[in-house]
């Protein structure tokens, strides 16, 4: 472990640099970002890893100097990267960085000076910091989110009240801890934590990145679970800037068939249907012209706006070459039309008896949507396993790209 005076000397001697570890999208299979990881490069060329000096710096307020010292380096590195590819770059912060507003102010000023897009930058905060954070820390983080800078909860699933913290903070991303990712293939319990974390993040509109992915099976499992991004030695270690850029320029493709997102769409639709049906059934029990009928708690009624619709007309469109995907459009629009019709009838004073036959049609149309989604998921799963067991077969054949 290094001493504080050695760290002070290293700042003066400009011995710190960032290495970059790639993040890959499980939708496109391409590198979409990186995490900046600090390295201490000694004059003799040897490298000191962060675990040997960050804890010492964190025990004093020295960590704040390290962070501020690294910011302009990060900005300069990002300008070089952006010439090659628009990437989202995250970097690590410590609780002390948010004790006062110096760090947040400096970061915002630099983003402006360097003319970087705020949403190309992401600040990582560990779950334990977020859990223990007082109001001051929250107050100093807020301006960053307001400016559009991403906020990632690091080491997610290692703390205790993740759900509670997640709902209180403006997180845009959660990073599944590498310990949990490492154990998920061997432990059903860990697999369940991974799956339910992903599902919850999906409902909150937060992205998920899995850290510490070291093997093909983990990559595949995360694709099937609906995870958005992966990071780990399976893709690459953290590399010095020049090597990282060469790596990005190679334009490697990893398999990126988001089967898990089809599964999310299945659950999304079930939840949509349930919310609508229960709102309607509750409302018909109230008298005609009552306020409760006019103010039903409705899900998104437009077919582009429900979660399934947003997926279908957005990311899901990568399946447009598949006949099953095409055939989903009409039944999905139909079920929304029927939902709207039912809603109007209830507002106009219809009784349970009046709407029962139409509710039945609604349920049938919804079953068609679910059946098609299920077929699409099965077909994609088959192709995913086919493509990863046969090196010559490519997912692009399946997607007809
Ligand atoms: P972290 O933020 O959880 O970063 C992930 C660590 O896991 C990195 O170690 C990374 O190299 C390593 N890693 C990535 N993929 C794999 C994998 O597939 N398998 C395994 N076994 N490990 C993997 P690194 O670079 O040694 O960083 C260690 C910790 O030091 C970081 O953990 C972070 O908490 C801290 N750190 C790194 N850079 C900074 C920085 O600039 N500022 C602050 N405050 N902390 C930093
Ligand atoms: Ca991190
Ligand atoms: Ca981490």
**Per-residue model confidence as pLDDT tens digits over 294-304:** 999 999 999 99
159 within 8 A of 128, measured Cβ to Cβ:
yes
Which whole number is the average pLDDT over 95-107? 94
Torsion angle, alpha carbons of 345, 346, 350, 355, to 10 = 80
Going by their DSSP bridges, the two strands 229-230 and 16-25 should be labelled as antiparallel
39 within 8 A of 10, measured Cβ to Cβ:
no
Q: How far is the CA of 172 from the centre of ligand 2 (A)?
A: 14
pLDDT at residue 263, as a whole number: 94
Ligand 1 contacts CB of residue 25 (under 6 A): no
Question: Which residue's CA is the closest to the ligand 1 atom numbered 2?
Answer: 92
| Span 236-247, pLDDT tens digits | 999 999 999 999
Question: Which residue's CA is the closest to the ligand 1 atom numbered 44?
Answer: 93
Question: Which residue's CA is the closest to the ligand 1 atom numbered 13?
Answer: 212
Is residue 65 over pLDDT 80? yes
Among 263, 237, 235, 207, residue whose Cα is nearest residue 384: 263
Test site for ligand 1: of 22, 37, 180, most ligand atoms within 8 A of the Cβ? 37
32 within 8 A of 23, measured Cβ to Cβ:
yes
Q: How many CB atoms lie within 10 A of CB 314?
A: 10
Contacts of residue 377, defined as CB under 8 A and 6 or more positions apart, other chains included, come to: 259, 262, 263, 266
Q: How far is the CA of 154 from the centre of ligand 3 (A)?
A: 5
Is residue 148 over pLDDT 90? yes
Is residue 389 over pLDDT 80? no
Residues 226, 294: Cα–Cα separation, whole Å: 37
Q: How many CB atoms lie within 10 A of CB 27?
A: 17
Q: What is the mean pLDDT of the chain?
A: 94
Q: How far is the CA of 186 from the centre of ligand 1 (A)?
A: 23
Ligand 1 contacts CB of residue 38 (under 6 A): yes
CA 189, 194, 195, 199 dihedral sign is: positive
Residues 362, 342: Cα–Cα separation, whole Å: 9
- Among all ligands shown, which has an atom nearest to the Cα of 157? 3
Among 216, 328, 352, 196, residue whose Cα is nearest residue 262: 328
Among 361, 354, 309, residue whose Cα is nearest residue 339: 361
Give the DSSP letter string of 51-111: GGTHHHHHHSTHHHHHHHHHHHHHHHHHHHHHTT---EEEEE--GGGGSSSHHHHHHHHHH
pLDDT at residue 391, as a whole number: 61
Ligand 1 contacts CB of residue 54 (under 6 A): yes
Ligand 1 contacts CB of residue 214 (under 6 A): yes
pLDDT at residue 397, as a whole number: 79
Query: Can you tell me which atom of ligand 1 is nearest the CA of 70?
Result: 41
Is residue 396 over pLDDT 90? no
Residues 224, 263: Cα–Cα separation, whole Å: 8
Q: How far is the CA of 240 from the centre of ligand 3 (A)?
A: 19
Ligand 1 contacts CB of residue 179 (under 6 A): no
Length of the chain: 401
Is residue 80 over pLDDT 90? yes
136 within 8 A of 102, measured Cβ to Cβ:
no
Q: Which residues crowd ion ligand 3, with CB under 5 Å? A: 154-155
Residue keyed to tokens 């040997």: 52
Which whole number is the average pLDDT over 88-100? 94
Residue keyed to tokens 């960050």: 54
Strand partners, 176: 156, 210
- Among all ligands shown, which has an atom nearest to the Cα of 127? 3
């Amino acid at each position: 472990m290094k001493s504080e005076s050695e760290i002070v000397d290293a700042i003066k001697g400009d011995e710190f640099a960032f290495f970059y570890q790639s993040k890959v999208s499980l939708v496109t299979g391409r590198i979409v970002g990186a995490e900046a990881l600090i390295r201490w490069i000694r004059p003799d060329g040897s490298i000191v890893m962060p675990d040997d000096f960050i804890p010492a710096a964190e025990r004093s307020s020295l960590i704040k100097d390290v962070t501020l010292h690294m910011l302009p380096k990060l900005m300069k590195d990002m300008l070089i990267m952006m010439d090659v590819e628009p990437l989202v770059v995250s970097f690590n912060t410590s609780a002390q960085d948010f004790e006062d507003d110096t760090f947040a102010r400096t970061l915002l000023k630099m983003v402006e000076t360097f003319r970087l897009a705020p949403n190309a930058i992401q600040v990582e905060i560990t779950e334990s910091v977020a859990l223990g954070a007082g109001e001051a820390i929250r107050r100093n983080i807020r301006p960053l989110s307001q400016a559009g800078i991403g906020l990632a909860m690091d080491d997610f699933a290692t703390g205790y009240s993740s759900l509670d913290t997640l709902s209180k903070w403006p997180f845009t991303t959660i990073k599944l801890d590498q310990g949990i990712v490492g154990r998920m293939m061997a432990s059903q319990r860990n697999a369940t934590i991974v799956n339910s974390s992903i599902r919850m993040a999906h409902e909150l509109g937060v992205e998920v990145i899995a850290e510490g992915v070291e093997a093909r099976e983990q990559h595949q499992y995360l694709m099937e679970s609906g995870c958005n991004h992966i990071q780990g030695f399976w893709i690459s270690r953290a590399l010095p800037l020049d090597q990282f850029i060469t790596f990005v320029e190679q334009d490697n493709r990893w398999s990126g068939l988001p089967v898990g997102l089809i599964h999310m769409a299945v659950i999304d639709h079930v939840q949509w249907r349930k919310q609508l049906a229960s709102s309607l059934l509750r409302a018909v029990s109230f008298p005609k012209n009552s306020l409760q009928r006019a103010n039903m708690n409705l899900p998104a009624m437009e077919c582009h706006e429900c979660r399934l619709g947003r997926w279908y007309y957005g990311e899901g469109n990568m399946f447009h070459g598949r006949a099953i995907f095409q055939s989903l459009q009409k039944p999905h629009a139909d079920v929304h039309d029927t939902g709207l019709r039912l809603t109007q009838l209830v507002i106009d004073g219809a009784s349970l008896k009046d709407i029962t036959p139409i509710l039945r049609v609604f349920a049938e149309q919804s079953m068609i949507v679910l059946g098609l989604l299920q077929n699409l998921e099965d077909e994609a799963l088959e192709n995913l396993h086919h493509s990863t067991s046969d090196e010559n077969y490519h997912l692009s054949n399946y997607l007809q790209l």
